[in-house]
Amino acid sequence: MSEDIRPFRIEIPQADLDDLRDRLARTRLPGQVPGTGAERGVPEDRVRELTGHWASGYDWREHEARLNEHPQFVTTIDGQRIHFLHVRSPEPDATPLILTHGWPGSVAEFLDVIGPLTDPAARGGDPADAFHLVIPSLPGYGFSSPLAGGGWTLGRIAGAWAELMDRLGYDRYGAQGGDWGSGVSRELGRLAPDRLIGVHVNFLLTFGSPEGLDEADRERLAGTERFTSEMGGYMAIQSTRPQTLAYGLADSPAGQLAWIAEKFSEWTEDAIDRDALLTNVSLYWLTNTAGSSAQLYYEFAHAWEESEPSTVPTGVAVFPFEAALPVRALAERTDKIVRWTEFDRGGHFAALEQPGLLVSDIRDFFRELTRG
């Protein structure tokens, strides 16, 4: 390996886990206005139940071991420490693919898709559908911390991903992502179109004039506008005052839990497995990245430019309980859409909610591009 890529293993000190349990035991809940529910934020009984399980029923070491089953590494790119999983397929000619998470997600989102994507033959599938996977933590997220400085926009992250794939020896590869990961993947395609086989996303915000759209697409467009305005309270805070927010989340595990759990409740069809949710929250808490992860919203808001067209073949997987649903006619104005799949179940965290559907769509998309 080149450029000082170093093996990495997650080993959280026991003192940090003891401190977490002590803080959870001393949680002070704020109370709730009688007769109100989730419309004002995550309900107190939900937080009480989750903090209780986090303190006494959840075993971090079990989930840490599961993460450590996969080869992990760290390197420094553009002054920033980057942590990533690199899981090579047993098939030597597998297609390289970089998977990118978003907020409030992490590399733990992809645990259920790693095996099916890297070794389909072991599950009765076609070995030609195999992928070599690179799964990095976004700068300021998880073990890609501490954040070395400001300016980590989607474009700069995409540049770091291009450098990472180059260091790993991958000249031609695909990109996939949801949430921020979709934006990074798309920017990677714009930055290095000659190296990208294709870009597959399971989240895409589309904007534009409603003129010429049918009623269903107009409704979707209105939903996106509601999402970015009425439902974007968390977005407004993180894009304007991420540092101020961080003090509360960095000091209170219950606060960090509620901040993340609310989105898992709002953007999913069914409740995510409780331990899967807590593994994700634990990664934020144990790496103290509530504040540094929120900085990406600030960077996006202060460096936003109108999206430029992408020439890379793009596939979109649409899950019905997504935070906002895309409009294909609008997407085709800026992206080379070659595959568009509408599913009847699943939401924002597709790799956690519907790993089988996501894996199948990724395979089909890249199969069409690599084998015709």
* Type of residue at 231: M
For the question of residue 83 being annotated catalytic, the response is no
Q: Identify the active-site residue in 112, 119, 129, 179.
A: 179
Structure tokens at 110: 């992809």
**Bridging pattern class, strands 95-100 and 131-136:** parallel
Indicate the CATH number for domain 60-238+306-371: 3.40.50.1820
pLDDT in tens, 94-153: 999 999 999 999 999 999 999 999 999 999 999 999 999 999 999 999 999 999 999 999
| Rounded mean pLDDT, 301-314 | 86
Q: CA-CA distances (angstroms) from residue 195 to 115, 152, 339?
A: 25, 22, 19
Residue 347: pLDDT over 60: yes
pLDDT at residue 3, rounded to an integer: 66
Residue 372: pLDDT over 80: no
pLDDT at residue 231, rounded to an integer: 67
Q: Identify the active-site residue in 234, 297, 335, 361.
A: 297
Under 8 Å CB-to-CB from 147, ≥6 apart: which residues?
Answer: 80, 139, 140, 292, 295
Question: What is the average pLDDT value for the chain, to the nearest integer?
Answer: 95
pLDDT in tens, 163-198: 999 999 999 999 999 999 999 999 999 999 999 999
**Residue 372 buriedness (CB in 10 A; 0-12 / 13-18 / 19+):** exposed
CA quadruple 10, 235, 312, 340: dihedral, nearest 10: 100
> How far apart are alpha carbons 260 and 229 in whole angstroms?
19
For the question of residue 179 being annotated catalytic, the response is yes
* Cβ atoms of 249 and 259 closer than 8 Å: yes
Confidence of residue 272 (pLDDT cuts 50, 70, 90): confident
pLDDT at residue 205, rounded to an integer: 93
Structure tokens at 243: 């540092």
Structure tokens at 127: 């070995």
Tell me the H-state helices in the chain: 14-25, 44-56, 60-67, 111-118, 154-167, 180-191, 215-229, 233-240, 242-251, 253-266, 274-287, 290-302, 328-331, 350-353, 355-371
Single out the residue of 349, 358, 354 nearest to residue 265, CA to CA. 349
Domain ranges of the chain: 60-238+306-371
Q: Identify the active-site residue in 86, 101, 200, 348.
A: 348
Confidence of residue 271 (pLDDT cuts 50, 70, 90): confident
Angle, in degrees to the nearest 10, between helices 14-25 and 44-56: 140
| Rounded mean pLDDT, 316-333 | 96
Residue 18: pLDDT over 80: yes
- Tell me the DSSP string of 1-65: --SS-EEE-----HHHHHHHHHHHHT-------TT--GGGSS-HHHHHHHHHHHHHT--HHHHHH
- Which residues are paired to 74 by β-bridges? 6, 83
Instruction: With H, G, I as helix, E, B as strand and everything else as coil, classify residue 117.
Output: helix
**Bridging pattern class, strands 313-318 and 173-177:** unpaired
* Cβ atoms of 153 and 299 closer than 8 Å: yes
Q: How many CB atoms lie within 10 A of CB 23?
A: 16
Residue 2: pLDDT over 60: no
